[in-house]
Amino acid sequence: MSFDLHGRAVLVVEDDFYLADDTRQMLEEAGAEVLGPVSAANEALSLLEMLRPDYAVVDVNLGAGPSFGLASTLQARGIPFVFLTGYDLDIVPAEFKGVPCLQKPVDPEKVLVALSTLEIGVRNPPGR
Amino acid sequence: MDSGAVLVLAPIGRDGPAAVEILSRIGISGIVCADYGALVERLGPQCLAVIAAEEGLYGRDLGDLIRWTKDQPVWSDLPFIILTSHLPHQRATAWRAELVSSLGNVTLLERPVESITLTSSTRAALRARQRQYELRGLLSELEHGNERFRLIVENARDYAIILSDPDDLIIDWLPGAAAVFGWSADEMLGKPTSSIFTPEDQAQGVPEQELGRARSEGVAPNVRWHKTKDGGRVFLDGQTVALRNDDGTIRGFMKIGKDITDRRRNEERQAVLTAELQHRVRNVLAMVASLVKRGDATGSTQEFRERLSGRIAALARTQTLLTRGALEGVELEGIVRDELLAQAADAARVSVNGPSLILMPKAAEVLTLAIHELTTNAAKYGAIGAPQGKLIVHWRRQPRQGQDWLELTWQESGVEISPGRQTRKGFGTELITRRVPFELKGVGEMQLTETGLLCRISFPLQPSESVLQTDVPAESGKENRRSS
C-alpha cells in the first residue's frame, strides 16, 4: 500500500507514546508533515489555535475515558479525521457516524488506508 | 341464636300461633313473640321478617324498635308486615302513617287477612330479605378484597404507586412511593406527576410524551431515572396506565414502578468494567507489539528473546499489581526492589531510599519499565555487574509550580567508563528521554559521568485515583448516588 501524503499536514493525538511514535513515523514515511504527536486534547486544541492540519488521527481515550470534545472541534472546523479506539466501535456517538474508526491494536497501514478515504472525500467533496 | 325465622307479634287471641301454623305449611319457620318487649329482644340480622298485629304495638313506646330499624347495617332493610286492627279511627290514621314511615319497609295487610294474602306477602318479604343477605355477602367479599389490596399496596415498599387525575395531578401517593421518593403524601397530593421526572426529562417533554402514549395505547413504559426529595436519583422500571370510565373517557392515570436503582448501578458498573477490560486487553497487546517492534535488532536472536521476555515480564508485574483490586496504585519502593531482585543485585552495594509513595497506573507502568531497563543495563554494563560498582536510587517529592513532582535519581558509581562511550540509544533511553515527557509530562535525562550512569526522572504526581477509575468511560447518566 503506498499512499502519498506529500504536502499534507496530519495532526496526531494519541496518549500512548509508542503508538503515537509509530503513527508519526509511518505518516512521515508517506510524506506527511506530522503535527504533534500530542497526548492530550488540550494540547491538540492549543496546537489547532496556530496551525490547520489537513487531517487528524485521534485516539478516543486520552487517559480519562472516551471523550469526543476534540472530535467535535475538528468536525466544526471541517478537518477530516479518523478515530483510534481500544473500545468497542459502538462507543462512538452517532454524530461521528461517517468517521472511520480503527480498533487497537492498529496496523499502521490501516491508518493510511483510512486517511486515503478522507483524501478522496476532500478531493471530491459531497454535493458537487 | 334464632336463625332464619319470622318474628310474629300478635298478643291477643290465637292470631300468633295461627300465623305461625300458616307459615309452617309453606316451609317458613315463625317464632311467636309474647309481647312488644320480646319482639325487640329477638331483633337481629338473622331475623327474616316481622309480622306484627297493630294492637301489639299501639300505645307502646316504639323508640327501641325504630332506633333498631334505623341502625341496621347498610345492606339490611328488615321487612315488616303489619296487620291492621280496629283502632279508634281518628287517632289510628295518624299513628299508622307515623309507624309506616318510621319502620320503612312496611307492608300493611288489612284484617281479616286471607291466608294466601299472608303467605304471599311473607314470601315476597323473604325474597327481598334474601337479596339483602346476598348483598351482605358481596359487601363482605369486597371489604376483604379491599383490605387485601390495601395490605399488598401499602407493604410494597420497593414499588412506587401513584394515582393521578385526568390532568395528571396526584390524588393518591401510596407508602411505596413515599419510601422510594422520600416525599410524603402530604407533600405530593395535588402536584403534577411530572414533578418526579428529572429536570432533563422535564425539559425534553418526556412526562407529556409518556401521558400521550398512555392515552393512545393504554399503557406507556416508564423506565428511567427519576428525582428524589433529597436531590438524588432513583431508577424506576414500570409503566403508566390510563384509567378509563365506562364511557371511555380518561378517569386518571396510575404510575407503578419498581425501584431497581441498585441493579441499574450494578449493570452500569458492569458495563464500565467490561469496556475497561476490553480497553486494557487491547492496550496490553498494543504495548507488547510495540515492545517487539522496538526491540534492539542488533545481537543474536537469543539476546533479543531474553530482552523481550524480560520487558514483558516487567510489564506483567505492573499489570498484576494494578489489577489486584480497586483503589490500588503501586508502591514505588516495591517497583525498584522487585527489579533489583530480578537481577540479583548485591544488596550491600545498592542503596534504595525515598518516601513511601503510591504511583498511579500510567506512572507505575512507565516507571517499572524504566527501572527494568536501568537495572538490566546496569547488570550488563554498569554498577550491578561491575565488582566495585555502587548504585544509589533515591527519590523525593518536590513542589513545582503548585504541583507535587516526583524526582527520582539513579546514580551508578565505581564503573570504568571507557572515554568516548555514549549512552546506548536503545529502547531504555527512548523510554526515559521521550516516553516520560510524552506520557507523564515530565523530564527524563541520561548521562554518562566518569564513574557511571546518572539518570534523572521527574514528573508531576497525579492526585490519587483508583486504577479501576482511570481510563474508564464516564458514567452515562450523571446520577448522584442516592443517599439511602
Out of B283, B294, B474, the one facing A86 most closely (by C-beta) is B283
Partners of A63 on chain B (C-beta within 8 Å) are 362, 470-471
CATH class label, B156-259: alpha beta
Tell me if A65 and B439 make a contact (CB, 8 A cut-off). Answer: no
Question: Right CATH number for B5-150 from 3.60.20.10, 3.40.50.2300, 3.90.380.10, 3.40.50.300?
Answer: 3.40.50.2300
Mean residue pLDDT of chain A comes to 81
Write the DSSP assignment of B76-88 as a string of letters.
----EEEEP----
Domain map of chain A by residue range? 9-110+118-123
Interface test with A, best of B277, B279, B293, B430 (most A CBs within 10 A): B279
- Can you tell me the ipTM of this complex? 0.83
Instruction: Give the cell for residue B47.
Output: 331475623
DSSP for residue B433: I
b (16+ CB within 10 A) / e for A66-98: bbbebbeebbeeebbbbbbbbbeeebbeeebee
Interface test with B, best of A60, A84, A85, A87 (most B CBs within 10 A): A87
Q: Are B261 and B235 in contact (CB under 8 A)?
A: yes
Q: Are A68 and A93 in contact (CB under 8 A)?
A: yes
| H-assigned helices in chain A | 17-29, 41-50, 69-76, 108-123
Partners of B283 on chain A (C-beta within 8 Å) are 16, 86, 104
Nearest to B43 by CA among B34, B33, B56, B53: B33
Domain map of chain B by residue range? 5-150, 156-259, 296-469
Alpha carbon of B465: minimum distance to chain A alpha carbons (Å): 11
Half-sphere CA count of A51, side-chain side, radius 13 A: 17
Query: Is the Cβ of A36 closer than 8 Å to some Cβ of chain B?
Result: no
- Which chain B residues touch A if contact means CB-CB below 8 Å? 275, 278-280, 282-283, 285-287, 289-290, 293-294, 362, 434-435, 438-439, 470-474
CA angle B194–B196–B198, rounded 5-degree value = 90
Tell me if B278 and A88 make a contact (CB, 8 A cut-off). Answer: yes
**Would you tell me which residues 37-76 of chain A have a C-beta closer than 8 angstroms to some C-beta of chain B?**
37, 39, 61, 63-66
How far is the first Cα of chain A from the last one, in angstroms, to the nearest whole number? 28
Q: Which fold has domain A9-110+118-123?
A: Rossmann fold (3.40.50)
Out of A19, A21, A87, the one facing B286 most closely (by C-beta) is A19
Instruction: Give the cell for residue B372.
Output: 527494568
For residue A16, what pLDDT is reported? 84
For residue B475, what pLDDT is reported? 38
CATH class label, B296-469: alpha beta
Mean pLDDT by 10 residues, chain B (484 residues): 78 85 92 93 94 91 94 94 84 88 93 90 95 94 87 82 93 91 93 93 93 93 93 92 90 92 88 79 81 80 87 83 63 87 84 88 87 90 87 92 90 80 75 90 90 92 51 38 38
Query: Is the Cβ of A87 closer than 8 Å to some Cβ of chain B?
Result: yes
Out of A61, A88, A105, the one facing B471 most closely (by C-beta) is A61
The answer, yes or no, to whether residue A63 has pLDDT greater than 80, is no
Out of B278, B290, B435, the one facing A86 most closely (by C-beta) is B278
Alpha carbon of A11: minimum distance to chain B alpha carbons (Å): 15
| H-assigned helices in B156-190 | 175-181, 185-188
Cα B196 from Cα B198, distance rounded (Å): 7
The answer, yes or no, to whether residue A76 has pLDDT greater than 90, is no
Peptide bond into A66 cis (omega under 30): no
